[in-house]
Amino acid sequence: MTKFATTIALALLFATSSAFANTEAKPEEMSNETLLECANVSNARIAVPEHRAMFRHYLMSERNYSFSQLSSAELEFKAADKNESEVETIYKSQCKEVGEYLYSIGY
């Protein structure tokens, strides 16, 4: 019984601490340009694969972007041929937490 209670307590602690960690990063407070950049850098090697889809879905559903606009922006981003380490830094510093937040709320 004690093991079970300890497991439940740890699970609740983890759930509440991760919920508080995600409250810092809100897509509603980000500009369209930043969200679009996050969608593009989320295609990086180190990124969580689902984050790219989350950002794109959020932009289309909440910011009225079309698929064509997202595709054009992605082509421009790829044409810029940014340094992989720069892309990874942007993803880690600006986008990772927001992507996790979008995932947690169902985008």
- Residue 4 burial (C-beta neighbours within 10 Å; 0-12, 13-18, 19+): exposed
Cβ 10 vs Cβ 2: under 8 Å: no
Domain boundaries, the chain: 26-104
Residue of 51, 63, 58 lying closest to 88 (CA atoms): 51
Q: Is the pTM of this model over 0.85?
A: no
pLDDT digit of tens for each residue in the chain (107 aa)?
555 444 454 444 444 444 444 446 799 999 999 999 999 999 889 999 899 999 999 999 999 999 999 999 999 999 999 999 999 999 999 999 999 999 999 98
